[in-house]
Structures are given as structure tokens and as C-alpha cells.
Amino acid sequence: MPAARDDGARGARLSRQTLGQRFAAYRLHHRQMLAAGFERLRRYPLATLMTVMVIGIALALPAGTLVLVSNAKSVSGTWQGAARISLFLKQNLSDSAVQQLADSVRAHAGVASVKVITASQSLAEFRQHSGFGDTLSLLGSNPLPAVLVIRPTNDYTTPVAAQQLGHELGVLPQVAEVRMDIQWLRRLQAMLDILHRAVLIIALLLALAVVLIVGNTIRLEIENRRTEIEVSKLMGATDAFIRRPFLYHGAWYGLAGGVMAWILVLIALLLMAGPVAHLASLYGSRFSLSGLGFEGSLVLLVSGIALGWLGSWVAVARHLRAIEPT
Amino acid sequence: MIQFSEVSKRYAGGNEALASVSFNIEHGEMVFLTGPSGAGKSTLLKLLALIERPSRGQIIVNGQNLGGIRRGQIPHYRRKVGMIFQDHKLLHDRPVFDNVALPLIIAGVAYQDIPKRVSAALELVGLAHKERALPVMLSTGEQQRVGIARAVISRPPILIADEPTGNLDPDLSFEVMQLFRRLNQVGITVLVASHDHNLIRRLGQRVLSLRAGRVVAPELQGDAHAGRA
Ligand SMILES: Nc1ncnc2c1ncn2[C@@H]1O[C@H](COP(=O)(O)OP(=O)(O)O)[C@@H](O)[C@H]1O
Ligand SMILES: [Mg+2]
């Protein structure tokens, strides 16, 4: 009884379907398109794997590099031994004056410990290490100054804070020169900042690449399903209805690419864990590489899905309207 | 139900496919559209399906002026016009069930109602047991009947068919036309384009003849419909 006797009966039968039922059907269609999109990926496993691999590599490159950069930043930001400040004192300060100065410096909130190296200790040390001892004795008087080696408290170990502490101590009248071995650390951090920025730019370009890859794959898919699109339009399908399966298809590609990227980053980190542990042990550190973490993994997967979705949007916007029944 | 007033259609190539065509089809009528190849039959049906737009004139379907239907509203209009094609336009990678269910899924019909309605539609065309078959496993006549089941499943008030028996032998053709006749008898307005004069004569319905884009002798066999309208 698909045919109706007249319009009145037809209208009555149509309106029997409530808005809730309609919405349920709509949601079901979404779920089915989600499943159908996945089915399409499974149907051509090799082609799908290749596309997913390309997306995965494009996502893994920036993700992996960002992980490395942030590891390097966290290492350089908390490098304990590196933030050491040496105060070279003026000549002809008596040993007791040096001790007095050391005590007052020790009282500073940013100073954890002060090691005093008197002028004669400096000389002895120099003699021992340099082998120029005899030359020095020719000079008659000791040319080396007394030195205060300061280890900042934890709050003052970052390059910026240590730099500030150095400035404060440098203005003391007894101090001839401040030497900080954090200069290289600051340069390293500046370089890491540049690297970080560069990786972000490359990430943007690779994101564009992912959009284009997915867009092109979906374009081919649209071409393959031309008849289906035409027939659906003849049966009264809206643009949104026709778009839906392609958008889900693209999102699946993005998600699969994201998972692939996650695995690639994991493998790369595992491969690097050994050498990094070795390097850390040389510095007496127990540092180990941290991975993407929960948040990073989430960002990676969500970006994959979003880029896949965007890629199919581009393809769909460009090609779907052009397909009209004739 | 279907009213053409001074409708002309000129294709981009400069061909005048329809020239000032006027006619009126009443609600519940069954009409054959005939004429030699190139007369403009397909063009006329495409105007009704909003696949093409007229260059001039006005078309009113079910009280609605087609000229006032914007692109975004076309899908909703098409759901009320069942369409049947000479080449069936079935999806060959889907079983019969999916093909017939397509208009319901597009219209967002509740899923629990779909199997029932697909069965009823397939039963109507005599293919109740073929739900799981793929179209390629069916004969041409059966494929066309699947196309008809798909066209009527959403219970459209109007059915248009372009050469639905073009690929069928005379017996099958007659069967398909009988099916249209039965659908017409339950209240659907039917417009069938065909150049098979013998068949049309056997069915004895109103005939609209086109020649080079113009209506000729519109009521050639008008008696048949006069009794019914
Ligand atoms: N898309 C088109 N572009 C240009 N000319 C067309 C197009 N479609 C049909 N025609 C022309 O319009 C005329 C009518 O064609 P058609 O409606 O297909 O006739 P019929 O279906 O009766 O054979 C023919 O001359 C045909 O060449
Ligand atoms: Mg034709």
C-alpha cells in the first residue's frame, strides 16, 4: 500500500511521524554514515593504508619535533648546576674582608650557598692545573683575585632570575666582575624558541598538506560515487545529506592518520630513549624523555580529525555542487 | 495537478526543445506523452523534475509554481514526485532493499518503519522475495520494477516515467504499463513518456503528442480519459 488514495490521507500519514522520530532517524543516519565511512576505509586496505601513512607522517613530523623541543626546553629551564654565579672580587681585599662579604652575600634570599676561594687558593689551584706555576712566581705578587662562587636558591636557577641575581650582586663595591655560566643557556633557550617557532610554521604547512591529501582522496571518492550522488539528488536528497558520508569519510582518514602519527612518535621516542639516558647519565642526571602525554595525544588526534574533516569539506564544497542529474 | 502555460525551453546550444507548450493534467489522471525521438518528451519531464528550468512560461505542479522554487527547496519538491528512468538508475553495489529504501532514508523516515514499507513496495511490483538480491542478478524487467518500487515507496502524489519500457520486450512492457495503471487507480497522477504506439493504444489512456517541441492533436485518444476525470 505505498500509494495513497488522495493528498489528505497522505498528509495525515506523514504527520503521524513526530519530530522526535524524525530527529532519531537523522541521528541514526549520522551513525550509519560514520559506520559506512569506516567501512569504505576497510574495503581498500592497501590504498587506505598508504593515504593514512602519508597523513601520519605529515602529522608525526611536527608532533615529534615539538615533543623534542619541549623536552629540550624543560631540560634547559631547570638545569641545576648550570646557574652558577662567580663574583671576581677586587684585588687587595684582605681575607677577612672577603669572608665578611661572603657572609652578607649569603644572607641574600636568592643565594643558597657561597663558596669562598681566596686569592691564595686561586693561585694554588691555578698552579696545580695550568702548569704555569713557575711563570707566575716570576711576577712576585699574586695576580689572581679572590672569588665567591654562588649557587642560587631554586627560585633563582632559571636563566632570567639568575641573571637578575647576578646584576644585584655585581653592583657591590667589592666586586670587580660577575661571570655567569648561564650565558650559553640563555642562547640555547633563544635558539630553542626559534626552533619552536619554526616547527609551528612547518606544522602549519604540513597541516595544509594533510588537508590537500584528504581533499584529493575525497575528490576521487566523489568521482567514484557520481551515480549515487545523482540518484540521491533525484530522490530529493539535500546537499547536507549528500555531504555527510564524505565528511565522515574524511574525518576517519584524519583520525587514522592521527593514530598513525601517535604510533610513529612513540616508536621514535623509544628508539631515542637509550641514547638520551646515556647522555643524561654523563651529566649525572636521571632525566628521561617525556612523550606526548595525554593532552598532547588528544591534541594530535583531534587535529587529525579536524584536518580530515576540513579536507573533505574543501573537496565537497568544490565538487559536489557540480554533480547534478541530467 | 500539472499545468504548463506557454512553456518554452531553449538549450544553451541554441536548440529549441519545447516551443510554447500548454496543457493541463488533472489530479488522478494517467497521461501518455508520445512523439518521435527528439520531440522534447525528456525535456518536458526534466522540467517537471526541476532538472532543467524553462526558458519561458509557467509550470504549476500540485498548486506550486515551479518558478518560485529556489535551489535549496528542490530536494523537498522532488520528494513529492516519483521518477522512473529508462536506464533504471539503480545503485549496482547495493541490494534491492537498499535501493528501494533510499527515498525513505533521504526523507528521514523512522528506521523501524522502513523494512515494512520496502516489503510492501516490493510486493506491489511482484518482487517480494528479491530484497537481498543485487540489481545485476535481476532481469531488465525486474530491475525496472525495482525502480518503480523505489519511485512509489514515499507515496508521491505524482509519478513521471521516461521511456520506462524502452528496453523491455512487448510482454514485459505491457506488464509494466499495467502496473502504472494500477498505481494510477489508487490515486497517483501518472505521466509516462513513450513512443510505443501499439502499447499506448492497448492501454487506452489520454495521450499528449509532441512533435518538434510542440503539442499536436492533444486529445487524440481523449475519450478514454473523459470518462474518468
Ligand atoms: N542537454 C541538452 N543540450 C542541448 N540540446 C538538448 C539537450 N537535451 C536535449 N536536447 C535537444 O532537445 C531536443 C529534445 O530532446 P529530448 O527532450 O531528449 O527529446 P525526446 O526525449 O523526445 O527524444 C532534441 O533536439 C535534443 O537534441
Ligand atoms: Mg527522451
The structural domains of chain A, with segments of one domain joined by +, span: 27-78+187-319, 84-181
A192: pLDDT confidence band, cut at 50, 70 and 90? confident
**Per-residue pLDDT tens for A265-310?**
999 999 998 898 888 888 777 777 888 989 999 999 999 999 999 9
- Name the residue type at position A284: G
Q: Is A318 helix (H, G, I), strand (E, B) or coil?
A: helix
**Residue from A32, A39, A234, A320 to probe the interface with B (highest B Cβ count within 10 Å):** A234
Q: What is the mean pLDDT of residues B20-44?
A: 95
How far from B138 is each of A267, B20, B123, CA to CA, in Å?
52, 41, 16
CA gap B107, A235 in Å, rounded: 9
Whether the predicted pLDDT of A6 surpasses 50:
no
Q: What is the mean pLDDT of residues B142-168?
A: 94
Which residue in A10, A233, A324 is closest to B155 by CB distance? Answer: A10
Strands (DSSP E) contained in chain B are 2-10, 16-25, 30-34, 56-61, 64-65, 81-84, 158-162, 189-193, 206-211, 214-216
Q: Which residues of A touch B110 (CB under 8 A)?
A: 17, 21-22, 24-25
Whether the predicted pLDDT of A10 surpasses 50:
no
- CATH architecture of structural domain A84-181: 2-Layer Sandwich (3.30)
Q: How far is the CA of B43 from the centre of ligand 1 (A)?
A: 6
* Residue B95, ligand 1, Cβ within 6 A: no
Contact A292, A300 (CB under 8 A): yes
| The pLDDT of residue A37 | 67
A216: pLDDT confidence band, cut at 50, 70 and 90? very high
| Residue having the nearest C-alpha atom to atom 7 of ligand 1 | B11
3-state secondary structure A128-141: HHHCCHHHHHHCCC
| The pLDDT of residue B221 | 46
Tell me which chain B residue has its CA closest to the CA of residue A233.
Answer: B75
Q: What is the mean pLDDT of residues A120-143?
A: 73
Q: Which atom of ligand 1 is nearest to the CA of B39?
A: 22
* Residue B21, ligand 1, Cβ within 6 A: no
Which residue in B90, B106, B150 is closest to A237 by CB distance? Answer: B106
In this predicted model, which residue has the larger pLDDT, B146 or A5? B146
How far from A20 is each of A24, B18, B76, B104, B113, CA to CA, in Å?
6, 45, 20, 16, 14
**Is the pTM value of this prediction over 0.90?**
no
Contact B186 A26 (CB under 8 A): no
| The pLDDT of residue A17 | 60
Give the closest-approach CA distance of A55 to chain B in angstroms: 29
Query: Would you say the C-alpha torsion A236, A238, A243, A244 has a positive or negative sign?
Result: negative
Contact B120 A13 (CB under 8 A): no
Q: Which residues of B touch A25 (CB under 8 A)?
A: 108-111
Most ligand 1 atoms within 8 A of CB, residue of B10, B21, B43, B86 to mutate: B43
Contact B51 A325 (CB under 8 A): yes
| The pLDDT of residue B225 | 44
Q: How far is the CA of A242 from the centre of ligand 1 (A)?
A: 28
In this predicted model, which residue has the larger pLDDT, A76 or A60? A60
End-to-end CA distance of chain A: 31
Q: Which residues of B touch A236 (CB under 8 A)?
A: 75-79, 103, 106-107
> A29-33, A123-127, A297-301, B26-30: lowest mean pLDDT where?
A29-33
**Per-residue pLDDT tens for B195-206?**
888 899 988 899
| The pLDDT of residue A281 | 84
**Per-residue pLDDT tens for B93-123?**
889 999 999 999 999 888 888 999 999 999 9
ipTM of the complex: 0.91
> A73-82, A176-185, B16-25, B130-139: lowest mean pLDDT where?
A73-82
Please name which ligand lies nearest the alpha carbon of B21.
1
A133: pLDDT confidence band, cut at 50, 70 and 90? low
**Per-residue pLDDT tens for B174-188?**
999 999 999 999 999
In this predicted model, which residue has the larger pLDDT, A128 or A102? A102
A2: pLDDT confidence band, cut at 50, 70 and 90? very low
| Binding-site residues on chain B for chain A (CB distance < 8 A) | 49, 51, 62, 72, 75-79, 83, 89-91, 102-103, 105-111, 113, 117, 120-121, 124, 149-150, 152-155, 157, 183, 186-188
**Per-residue pLDDT tens for A218-234?**
999 999 889 999 999 99
CA gap A75, A319 in Å, rounded: 49
**E strand or H helix that includes residue A101:** helix A95-106
* Residue B19, ligand 1, Cβ within 6 A: no
- Of A26-35, B118-127, B219-228, which one has max mean pLDDT? B118-127
Q: What is the mean pLDDT of residues B33-56?
A: 95
- Of A137-141, A259-263, B176-180, B196-200, which one has max mean pLDDT? A259-263
Q: What is the mean pLDDT of residues B37-49?
A: 95
Tell me which chain B residue has its CA closest to the CA of residue A29.
Answer: B105
CA gap B177, B202 in Å, rounded: 10
Q: Is B214 helix (H, G, I), strand (E, B) or coil?
A: strand
| The pLDDT of residue A79 | 60
Please name which ligand lies nearest the alpha carbon of B11.
1
